[in-house]
Structure 1
Amino acid sequence: MGLDRGWLSELIPPTGYVPDFLNPTPAGPAPAPAAEWDAILALPADWVRQDLDHLARHQGHLGPRLRPCTPTRPPAWPRSHKRSKRTGSWHYWARIRAVLDAGIFYRARTVAEHSAGRLFNDLHTS
């Protein structure tokens, strides 16, 4: 499944608001995708509904998968980690993690060798 259709395209627009419940507080510095998914699934339905209402206001509507959701009927997310691994970015997680870790190492080294000023001057403005 491409990223231009399905759950992700309804939840994460190209620009604008992204529902807060998609970013739960991590349990540690490098949580596994399965732990993150479990944290999302454990959220109260009213929190999810509030974020979906906010998303609808920003986008003007909700997609067909999200429209039938109510406070007592939360989204029917795919519950299987195996299915999610096949359809989401989990297939690429090791590569994503390596890129993120390399970015953190690069920035820490820049601060250590040059200064925080150099770090901030190198950040993109957009």
Structure 2
Amino acid sequence: MTDNDPIIRVPLHEVAHGRAGDKGNRLNISIIPYKNGAFAPIADQLTAERVHDVFRYRGTTKVQRYDLPQLHIFNFVIDNVLEGGVNSSLNLDGHGKTLSFRLLAEEVDVPESALHSASPYRRSPE
């Protein structure tokens, strides 16, 4: 990143991908930037409080963010987001896997170079 590197707003999925897993009524979402240079800007913006706000409509009570800076990964543990979990939910799918896409839709401000450096890892539009 240079001083001439403009900051742009993009959906998180343009510069990172996610993995999710669930156990009971607790969801883990890992956010993995495509390139290491996106780690710091994402760290500044994707706080536990922001993730809590994203899932508040589902009754989330607590979000913890664990940073893995050597791996350039964030792991969010989200409590009470699955409406009781797979065995208790009235939803067709009580699993948390699809909720990672909700988080990846959030917009973040990143240096333009982070977007361009991520492009070989993103799927090209057909």
TM-score range (shorter-chain normalised) is: under 0.3
Greater length-normalized contact order (CA 8 Å, ≥ 6 residues apart):
2
TM-score (norm 2): 0.26
Structure richer in strand, relative to its length: 2
| Larger gyration radius, structure 1 or structure 2 | 1
Whose helix proportion is higher, 1 or 2? 1
